[in-house]
Amino acid sequence: MDMKNPKYKNQGIHVDMVVFTVDDKKIKTLLVQRGRKPFVGEWILPGGAVYNDESVDFAAERELEEKTGLKDLYLEQLHTFGNPKRDPRKRMVSVAYLALVDKKKVSILQKTSKTLDAKWFDIKKLPDLAFDHKEIVRLAVKSLRKMLIYSNIAYTLLPCQFTLPELQGVYEIILGEKFDRRNFRRKFLNLGLIEATGKREEGMANRPANLYRFKAKKYKAVDIL
């Protein structure tokens, strides 16, 4: 490959993160408000340029922490968007990532030096997004639904200890479908992914639910439904 060829010059690589959480019976995603041209003031996915000396995966982690303060969350490459017109300034390829986080961590969106104004949005009520970011979110939702059905990824969306109704809620909210409580419970317990902690919920004005935990907090392909 000829480095000087103008056909290839001045290309840029970007990462964009779609961070999802389930909160208040909605799927929510984190958006930040853009401070620079073009699209000043519009909402965009958190993300930024990949540096020359870091891997693209690392850039995703770094940018997410710099722009939102979130770190150590589940992060997976989703798709690469490469339309030459997607950024009006220059050829910019964006590697999109899907990130999942438990709603308990949602509140600790601390500000760092580079943190922008970040806000969680119900994915059914997204504002207009700059660039092709709406398309990226759409693909991320599709992927999230598949992952939920074909893996144990729900562990990333729940606290260490959770109740079966909470787990079922995550499935119902994301898939937009109701499940029979008895069948859901039996199915999930038979899969062997979770175990009872022996503890129970407290302080509810009703019968307290048993608490469970995932045996392994690591991605595993499993047919759930």
Partner DNA sequence: CCAAAAGTGTTAGCCATACACCCATGC
Partner DNA sequence: GCATGGGTGTATGGCTAACACTTTTGG
Q: Which residues bind DNA (CB under 7 A)?
A: 163-165, 180-183, 185-187, 190, 202-210
Taking CB under 8 A as the rule, does residue 95 contact a copy of itself? yes
10 binds a copy of itself (CB under 8 A): yes
Q: Is 84 in the site for a copy of itself (CB under 8 A)?
A: yes
Partner interacting with residue 202 (select from a copy of itself, DNA, none; CB below 5-8 Å by kind): DNA
Q: Is 125 in the site for a copy of itself (CB under 8 A)?
A: no
Closest approach, Cβ 136 to DNA, in A, equals 31
Range 143-150 contact pairs with CB under 8 angstroms and sequence separation of 24 or more: 143/78, 143/98, 144/20, 144/27, 144/98, 144/100, 144/174, 145/174, 145/175, 148/174, 148/175, 148/224, 149/175, 149/223, 149/224, 149/225, 150/221, 150/222, 150/223, 150/224
Structure tokens, 212: 């469970």
Q: Is 7 in the site for a copy of itself (CB under 8 A)?
A: yes
The answer to the question of residue 35 lying near a copy of itself (CB under 8 A) is no
The SS3 call for residue 186 is helix
Backbone torsions φ then ψ of 184, nearest 5 degrees = -60, -50
E strand segments, 55-154: 74-81, 92-100, 118-122
113 counts as binding a copy of itself under rule CB under 8 A = no
Residue closer to DNA by CB (options 93, 170) is: 170
* Residues in touch with a copy of itself (CB under 8 A): 1, 3, 5-14, 36, 48-57, 59, 77, 79-84, 89-91, 93, 95, 146, 150, 221, 223
